[in-house]
Structure 1
Amino acid sequence: MVAGTTHDNMVRRDKLFIAGAWQEAAGHLEVVNPANLRPVGVTAVATTADAHQAVSVAQEAFAFGVWRMEKPSYRAAVLREAADILERKSEALVSLVTDELGCTVRAARTAAVPNPIRHLRYYADLIESTHLEETRSHGGASSLVVREPVGVVAAITPWNAPLFGPTLKVAPALAAGCSVVLKPALEAPLSAYELADAFAEAGLPPGVLSIIPGDGAVGEHLVTHPGVDKVAFTGSTAVGRRIMALCGERIARVSLELGGKSAAVILDDADIETVAEQLLPMILLVNGQACIAQSRVLVPRSRKSAIVEALADAVAKVRVGNPYAEDTTVGPLVSERQLRRVEEYIGIGVIEGARVVVGGGRPSPDDVGPGYYFEPTLLSEVENNMRVAQEEIFGPVLGVIEYADTAEAVAIANDSVYGLSGSVWTGDPARGLEVARQLRTGMVSINGSPQAFGSPFGGFKQSGIGREMGPEGLQEYLETKSIALGDTLPTS
């Protein structure tokens, strides 16, 4: 049973985690299962005063060095112990993530829960193997170059990865020696509390990690607080612009992982049936609510009809429904608001001239129940200047855009304010690599190949600034200092 679960399986997280203790909250919110609209639990809702307190205790912990001055091996041991604690309750976490987000239980079991645990262990290993000091000499001068924690981090995370999103920031920040104030989204905040339990049990000193679910006002308070040295944000590009502007006013460090409108470039030598089968999972991640979704499908004009037909057949076979059913591919969207957003975009696409080939609406409640379900949707006759091709829909929607030759395909793929992900599909991997090198995006897959664990993740253009995962993710939480040693001072 997940910590905080009541006798009726409701998860009651009605307190905030600040200074290593659970504190009363002025506000509370019911968290609803988007699959059946039943309550999953209750979350505390932080105020700006709570955010101010969390930053203050984080500053104090950092100033006293209760965490940052510990050896990397000690910090690594705490991260590993927290990972072990989460792993021991992984089945309960799978249920919790599935309930509050609506992702399929298969996705929760294979990715949404094990990946955060793996991430904690990765940064435990990395901080132990990373050289944080080195001596550089030139002529008679000698300097000690030191990489040290950036300070107090405000980590603001979205609802579509309720455990992994926070861990992407908390793991490298804690490994580096920072203090962290985490603000998870109110739509799906319950899984993030598990980090509080795990790190408290693992021995993290009080004040080093606080968890305060809250609204935009709480987030803005964190972003503008002079005690916050770095803001790490994942979310919409619109909010990212606001955060970057506010951080710019006080030259605060910032990393942003924002929206995407990624292109899947199908070359003329690709096997159509293979593409139709293997591309869909890259579009339907988190029920289509993933920033890296391959939502623009670029097809050669000469093979457009055959590809649309194959995609239509594959989309029509997608099983929509109960996230706990092992054969379900797509569960519900996270909220009524998100459902209406996707519906509105389909209407906009039709007005602009796109054609709905498959899907385009809500399935019958008789088939899926009362949740926030939307049919996987294939749009054809999409032009790249349409809003459905340029704006992030964040739903199970793919639009087919035709091109004349490879040069035009690359131009269309790059004709976007975003640059987060993408893919190239071909019978010739060398040709695929050649095209992939031309795409202005942070990640590219050839024929659906997965990225190696430890590869950096982040975007070009308005998809963000900075990188998460890998050694690059650790560097985001370190500052570099040079100390002139002279001839006689020791280096350590």
Structure 2
Amino acid sequence: MSMHFQTPPSYNNFIAGKECAAASGKTFDTTNPTTGERWGDFALSSAEDVDAAVRAARKAFDGAWGEMSPALRGKLLTAWGERIAKNAQLIGSIESTQNGKLLAEMQLQATISEDWLRYFGGLADKIEGSVIPVARQSVLNYTLREPIGVIAVITAWNSPTFLNIMAAAPALAAGNTLVLKPSEVTSASAVELAKLAAEVGIPDGVVNVVTGYRETGEALIDHPLISKVSFVGSVHAGREIGARAGRRLITSTLELGGKSPNIVFGDADLELAEIGVLAGIFAAAGQTCVAGSRAYIHKSVYDRLVERLVIRANMIKLGDPLLADSQMGPIATKSQLEKDETMVARALECGAELLAGGSRRTVEGFPKGQFFAPTILHKVTGENPIIVNEVFGPVLAITPFESDEEVLALANNSEFGLAAGVWTNDIRRAHLMARKLQAGTVWINTYRALASNSPFGGYKSSGNGRNNGIESINQYLQTKSVWCELSTVAQDPFVLRA
């Protein structure tokens, strides 16, 4: 058996370059989903703690960070990324024991955070305004692209380091400062990231962390010195956060839920499609917003591919996520485990047929572990709740189709639009599908591919704004127009001049 943390750790907030307990002295506990035992405890932050963090961020924005040259900011971000990558094993172990995802994936996400910080660090000194050729030649008009201020970053529990860095990298490169509020399920890695930022010389107050529950996040969004919110989480929470931010007339970038279709045509390479469909839903135990939880398979290959999927699903090894031979870990929280059970039961009541899994599993050595078997359902109609609602667990719903028009209608008949997969060797069909699918990302003959320089975000209820790429850094900037009269001839102050 692998070694989990033998002594439950304690984490404080990280504010103005220092670790500090909650002002109230209160803490909250988290659970290791593999063992079912207590993982550790964290500061339970109140509005007072949030105020201290935001004011520290504002001080850094007005001072050391705001006065620093963009080139030096970029170098510090690059150094931060290198330091995170060097500590990927520690960060990966922390996250794997907090959310149950495989250690290999959590380590990889920490490692590739270096790519994100290097990319956006390189963009820091390439933010430029422009000169506007206005009609009046005696006037110089130009624009400045300036940071917004203090950014509230509120992230989900499924990929904490990766999600924090996806928001932090462009925000900091643009010259803003941050207050991170991680999920109460996986708070430890955010504190570790902030400490590593301080180690490489990023000034105190640039990266702050407050831990706690919903009330902590609400206090953060409502703080008058917060200028923008970046959020990753559920649609319901995203709507509440967007509305809360909107009441203060500040903007928000929201990456929300998904119910992504994975479409397999009759001419697809079935070996690749099989791997893609399985990895799309089971690689992270379905605990990812881009999970390919709806598979649409052409009738000509339906029986053959479904049989292969069921065989492979039943072979997936559930186990300790810290062990290399485990292929799927536990479900992160008890409430999510109960949701998986409830939604599968409801789907069966509504006519779906169970082909694999469908229930909790006991893994040897972990009698309290929160494991759920890889589950496959078919004969799932468009009205079945398992097709309509996001599960966020290892549950795949399969539906046959006959024509391109039919599968497009099925795939787009959803409030979500985060991602979609297309498996075909017909290049015309592939790109026509990419155009017509209502999703922010379309993968052709691959799945779950992301890059620091490629925009990522959702259509419809899957959110607004984009992470990654130049498009994302622009969301953390505001434009100022500067006008300067160069003529020494007196002008009539009551005449509007172009």
TM-score range, shorter chain: over 0.9
Question: Does the CA-based 8 Å contact 1:299-1:402 persist in structure 2?
Answer: yes
Describe the shift of the 1:65–1:486 C-alpha distance in structure 2 as closer, same or farther (beyond 3 A): farther
2:132 pairs with one of 119, 132, 136: 136
Amino acid at match of 2:110: V
Deviation, 1:451, is 4.2
Unaligned 5+ segments in structure 2 are 489-498
Describe the shift of the 1:488–1:362 C-alpha distance in structure 2 as closer, same or farther (beyond 3 A): farther
Residue 461 of structure 2 corresponds to 462
2:414 pairs with one of 416, 431, 434: 416
Question: Does the CA-based 8 Å contact 2:80-2:196 persist in structure 1?
Answer: yes
Question: Does the CA-based 8 Å contact 1:320-1:368 persist in structure 2?
Answer: no
The CA deviation string for residues 182-201 of structure 1, in whole angstroms up to 9 with x for no partner, is: 10011111111111111111
Amino acid at match of 2:168: V
2:113 pairs with one of 89, 111, 116: 116
Residue 374 of structure 1 corresponds to 372
The CA deviation string for residues 316-341 of structure 1, in whole angstroms up to 9 with x for no partner, is: 12121111222222100101111001
When the two chains are superposed, the root-mean-square deviation of aligned CA atoms in Å is 1.9
Describe the shift of the 1:488–1:425 C-alpha distance in structure 2 as closer, same or farther (beyond 3 A): farther
Taking the aligned partners of 2:465 and 2:151, their CA distance within structure 1 comes to 15
Question: Does the CA-based 8 Å contact 1:35-1:369 persist in structure 2?
Answer: no
Describe the shift of the 1:469–1:402 C-alpha distance in structure 2 as closer, same or farther (beyond 3 A): same
The CA deviation string for residues 167-189 of structure 1, in whole angstroms up to 9 with x for no partner, is: 11112111111121110011111
Taking the aligned partners of 2:450 and 2:221, their CA distance within structure 1 comes to 32
Give the number of aligned pairs: 480
Residue 21 of structure 1 corresponds to 18
Residue 238 of structure 2 corresponds to 240
Deviation, 1:369, is 4.1
Question: Does the CA-based 8 Å contact 1:69-1:177 persist in structure 2?
Answer: no
Matched, 1:210 2:208: yes
Describe the shift of the 1:327–1:235 C-alpha distance in structure 2 as closer, same or farther (beyond 3 A): same
Describe the shift of the 1:106–1:479 C-alpha distance in structure 2 as closer, same or farther (beyond 3 A): same
Deviation, 1:7, is 9.9
Deviation, 1:113, is 1.4
Describe the shift of the 1:368–1:411 C-alpha distance in structure 2 as closer, same or farther (beyond 3 A): farther
Q: Which moved more, 1:24-33 or 1:392-401?
A: 24-33
Taking the aligned partners of 1:70 and 1:269, their CA distance within structure 2 comes to 56
Q: Which moved more, 1:288-297 or 1:162-171?
A: 162-171
1:249-260 map, 5 Å: 249-260=247-258
Percent of pairs with identical residues = 34
Taking the aligned partners of 2:149 and 2:435, their CA distance within structure 1 comes to 36
Taking the aligned partners of 1:285 and 1:132, their CA distance within structure 2 comes to 41
2:393 pairs with one of 370, 392, 395: 395
Residue 152 of structure 1 corresponds to 150
Residue 37 of structure 2 corresponds to 38
Residue 198 of structure 2 corresponds to 200
Deviation, 1:87, is 2.4
Residue 495 of structure 2 corresponds to none
Taking the aligned partners of 2:68 and 2:409, their CA distance within structure 1 comes to 50
Taking the aligned partners of 1:56 and 1:131, their CA distance within structure 2 comes to 26
1:471-486 map, 5 Å: 471-486=470-485
Question: Does the CA-based 8 Å contact 2:286-2:395 persist in structure 1?
Answer: yes
Taking the aligned partners of 1:24 and 1:283, their CA distance within structure 2 comes to 39
Deviation, 1:394, is 0.3
Taking the aligned partners of 1:461 and 1:24, their CA distance within structure 2 comes to 40
Question: Does the CA-based 8 Å contact 2:362-2:369 persist in structure 1?
Answer: no
Deviation, 1:108, is 2.1
Q: Secondary structure at the match of 2:183?
A: coil
Question: Does the CA-based 8 Å contact 2:5-2:39 persist in structure 1?
Answer: no
Describe the shift of the 1:57–1:366 C-alpha distance in structure 2 as closer, same or farther (beyond 3 A): closer
Taking the aligned partners of 2:66 and 2:474, their CA distance within structure 1 comes to 15
Q: Which moved more, 1:475-484 or 1:41-50?
A: 41-50
1:269 pairs with one of 267, 289, 295: 267
Deviation, 1:302, is 3.7
Question: Does the CA-based 8 Å contact 1:277-1:314 persist in structure 2?
Answer: no
The CA deviation string for residues 80-116 of structure 1, in whole angstroms up to 9 with x for no partner, is: 222222222222222222211211122123x321122
Deviation, 1:368, is 5.8
Residue 348 of structure 2 corresponds to 350
Amino acid at match of 2:271: E
Q: Which moved more, 1:64-73 or 1:223-232?
A: 64-73
Which one has the largest radius of gyration? Answer: 2
Q: Which moved more, 1:26-35 or 1:471-480?
A: 26-35
Taking the aligned partners of 1:199 and 1:106, their CA distance within structure 2 comes to 23
TM-score (normalizing by structure 2): 0.92
Deviation, 1:208, is 2.1
Question: Does the CA-based 8 Å contact 2:283-2:327 persist in structure 1?
Answer: no
Residue 298 of structure 1 corresponds to 296
Taking the aligned partners of 1:255 and 1:262, their CA distance within structure 2 comes to 20
Describe the shift of the 1:169–1:311 C-alpha distance in structure 2 as closer, same or farther (beyond 3 A): same
Q: Secondary structure at the match of 2:55?
A: helix
Taking the aligned partners of 2:285 and 2:271, their CA distance within structure 1 comes to 22
Describe the shift of the 1:156–1:265 C-alpha distance in structure 2 as closer, same or farther (beyond 3 A): same
1:359-370 map, 5 Å: 359-366=357-364, 369-370=367-368
Residue 3 of structure 1 corresponds to none
Amino acid at match of 1:415: N
TM-score (normalizing by structure 1): 0.93
